[in-house]
Amino acid sequence: EAGQCVATAPSLDESGIALVPLLVGGIVRDMPEGPIEVRISRLAMAPGTVIDAAVVPYPALMYIETGTTACPGAPGRIVYAPDGTMVEESTTAVVQYTPAGSTQYIPANIPDGAGNEGTGLMSSIVIEFVPVEQAATPTA
C-alpha cells in the first residue's frame, strides 16, 4: 500500500534532537578498497514475490524495515539481530530468513536473492559498496 514504507520521524528529546539508528550491527567483512560508491536503495516486495539468487562482485547490507525476507542463496551470508549480535551464518545453500529490525550481510560474489513468503509487504533498505575506478589524476 502506498506510504507503507515511509519512515516516521523520531520524537525529539528535550534538546530538540533525535538520532535513531536504522542499520544495526552490519559488519562488512570484505569491504573493497576505495574509492567506493555507496548505493542506498529501498526494496519492497509484495507477498509471494521472489528474486532469484544472483551474484554481484561487491558486498551489501540489507536492513529489514517490515515483514521478513526469505533469501535463497549460498553459504556465507549472515543475519544480525537488532542488538547487533550474529544470529546465523549460512553454511549451506538455503533460504535465509531475516525479520524486521534485523540486518543481512551479503558478501561479494556470493549468490543471494530475496523473497516475501509472508502475507504483508516486505520492505528493506539495501546498502551496496560498489568499487569505482578512479578518474585520471586531476591537474593543479
Contacts of 50 (CB under 8 A, 6+ apart): 70, 72, 113, 114, 115, 116
Determine the Cα–Cα distance for residues 78 and 45; give it in Å rounded to an integer: 21
pTM for this structure?
0.83
99 contacts 19 by C-beta, under 8 angstroms: no
| Amino acid letter for position 68 | T
pLDDT at 3 over 60: no
pLDDT band at 89 (very low <50, low <70, confident <90, very high): very high
40 contacts 125 by C-beta, under 8 angstroms: yes
| Amino acid letter for position 67 | G
Q: Tens digit of pLDDT for each residue in 14-26? A: 898 877 666 667 8
